[in-house]
């Protein structure tokens, strides 16, 4: 599904970065190990993988497949946070980092043995493609030496169009309102309101559980309805949930907070399938690469929001202004 060197280098890169972080003694080592190595490794296997797989392996039901792959990608969000939170409390943070090293290395043999780049590697056509489909038979080499050059050329070509920047901007807001604020600041914000860290992490894990239902449902809806309307509804509802979150955070878990967790979980990554569908509709054969650049905007938005959260805590002693500000952005 990705080239063989990329499959192995991703797992190795994440493992090396996490291991380097576990033995760090200086701040710059944290930036290099966790920021660069782990960030690069995780980014190379993030949402763009779903775009590539659906484009190569499926001619039908692409929305549903995108939802399924995205849901699979967020399983770790409800498997790991409680485990890592418990590990940090019992054995300190370095042990939790080593846990990630072990998990990444454990996945490496499965990647090498099971994954393949294209349907033709195993004598198949894309799912739903007719036998005489010319596109299914014209497979470029998985190790195409011009891949990096094409990626830059695609950006130069389509960055001149308005829809590209609109998709990038909306996905940047998506990143800000999910990875940027929720997955970075929810646990410390809840802890500041008197909630135990393990309880807050368990709530994040519950959001991850509902991610699965939300992304699968969104993928199915994307196959049947206009993705533009779906995105408008998703962002509006997500914005409303973030606007009310400061009123719900207390030292205990009440019914309103549980309702927030369920609704936000259903919306958290539901935007991926319709965004990819729009990329495919607008940019055709370049859609996977365009989606990769749009996903880069997602991560940029996440990084800026995470940084803004730290600034808000320093200036106001609370993350409440950030919840409200990002919620308002979703409404735009």
CB atoms within 10 A of CB 246: 17
Find out whether 32 and 20 touch, Cβ atoms under 8 Å. yes
* Highest averaged pLDDT of the listed ranges 99-113, 227-241, 302-316: 227-241
As a whole number of angstroms, the distance between CA 246 and CA 326 comes to 12
**Which pLDDT score, from 0 to 100, does residue 45 have?**
65
What is the CATH class of 61-91+158-331? mainly alpha
The alpha-carbon radius of gyration of the chain (Å, integer) is 20
Question: Which is more confidently placed, 2 or 170?
Answer: 170
Q: Is pLDDT of 298 > 60?
A: yes
As a whole number of angstroms, the distance between CA 267 and CA 261 comes to 10
Q: Is pLDDT of 47 > 80?
A: no
* 265 to 74, 101, 117, 127, 210: CA distances (angstroms): 11, 27, 31, 30, 5
**DSSP summary character for residue 46:** S
The burial of 175, by beta-carbon neighbours within 10 Å (0-12 exposed, 13-18 middle, 19 or more buried), is given as buried
For residue 7, name the pLDDT band (cuts at 50, 70, 90): low
**Which pLDDT score, from 0 to 100, does residue 133 have?**
56
* 209 to 43, 74, 111, 205: CA distances (angstroms): 22, 8, 24, 6
Which among 67, 64, 69, 77 is positioned nearest to 49, based on CA atoms? 69
Q: Is pLDDT of 327 > 90?
A: yes
As a whole number of angstroms, the distance between CA 175 and CA 296 comes to 10
């Amino acid at each position: 599904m990705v080239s063989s060197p990329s499959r192995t280098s991703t797992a190795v890169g994440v493992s090396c970065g996490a291991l380097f972080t576990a033995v760090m003694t200086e701040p710059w080592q944290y930036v290099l190990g966790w920021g660069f190595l782990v960030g690069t490794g995780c980014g190379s296997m993030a949402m763009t993988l779903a775009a590539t797989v659906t484009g190569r392996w499926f001619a039908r039901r692409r929305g549903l497949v995108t939802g399924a792959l995205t849901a699979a990608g967020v399983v770790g969000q409800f498997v790991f946070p409680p485990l890592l939170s418990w590990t940090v409390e019992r054995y300190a943070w370095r042990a939790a980092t080593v846990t990630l090293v072990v998990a990444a290395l454990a996945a490496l043999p499965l990647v090498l043995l099971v994954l393949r780049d294209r349907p033709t590697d195993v004598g198949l056509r894309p799912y739903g493609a007719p036998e005489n489909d010319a596109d299914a038979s014209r497979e470029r080499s998985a190790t195409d030496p011009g891949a990096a050059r094409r990626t830059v050329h695609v950006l130069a070509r389509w960055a001149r169009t308005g829809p590209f920047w609109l998709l990038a901007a909306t996905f940047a807001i998506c990143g800000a309102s999910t990875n940027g604020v929720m997955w970075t600041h929810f646990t410390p914000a809840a802890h500041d309101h008197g909630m135990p860290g393990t309880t807050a992490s368990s709530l994040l894990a519950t959001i991850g559980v509902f991610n699965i239902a939300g992304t699968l449902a969104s993928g199915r809806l994307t196959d049947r309805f206009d993705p533009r309307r779906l995105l408008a509804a998703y962002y509006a509802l997500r914005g409303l949930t973030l606007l009310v979150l400061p009123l719900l955070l207390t030292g205990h878990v009440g019914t309103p907070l549980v309702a927030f967790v369920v609704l936000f979980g259903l919306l958290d990554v539901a935007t991926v399938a319709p965004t990819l569908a729009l990329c495919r509709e607008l940019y055709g054969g370049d859609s996977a690469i365009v989606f990769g650049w749009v996903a880069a905007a997602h991560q940029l938005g996440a990084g800026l929001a995470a940084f803004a959260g730290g600034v808000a805590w320093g200036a106001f002693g609370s993350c409440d202004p950030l919840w409200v500000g990002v919620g308002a952005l979703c409404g735009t």
